[in-house]
Amino acid sequence: MQRLRLKADGRIVELRDGQEFPLAPVMPEAPTGAPNETAPLPAVRDLRRRAQLTQLEFAARLGVPVETIRNWEQGKRVPRGPARALLAVIAHSPQTVFEALAAEPSPA
């Protein structure tokens, strides 16, 4: 029987003979032609800190729960799809993105 332990930093280790051995995460392979979700993206924590925002402020500006930001920063979850695209744009022009997100749409 395999004994596993979840470490505080999110790693999973196997316990054998009183020693810990890290387990490599198993990542499912993307189907051919699927967008590459593993392309380098600046760390969410770095983006947030460059913008000089707390997790709560960053979450409010993006319109996501603060738990989402925490999960991204702790590596428990990975931003995907539209969130990933938005973070990539924030990496290049954070002030423009935050201004656009803060602007209220005009009534049609």
Distance CA 87, CA 64 (A): 12
Q: What is the pLDDT of residue 107?
A: 62
At the topology level, CATH places domain 41-102 in 434 Repressor (Amino-terminal Domain) (1.10.260)
Delimit the domains of the chain by residue range.
41-102
3-class DSSP state for residue 22? Answer: strand
Q: What is the pLDDT of residue 66?
A: 96
Q: What is the pLDDT of residue 17?
A: 86
Burial 81-101 (b: 16+ CB within 10 A, else e): eebeebbeebeeebeebbeee
pLDDT, averaged per 10 consecutive residues of the chain (108 residues), comes to 71 82 57 49 86 94 94 90 87 86 71
Is the entire prediction scored with pTM above 0.95? no
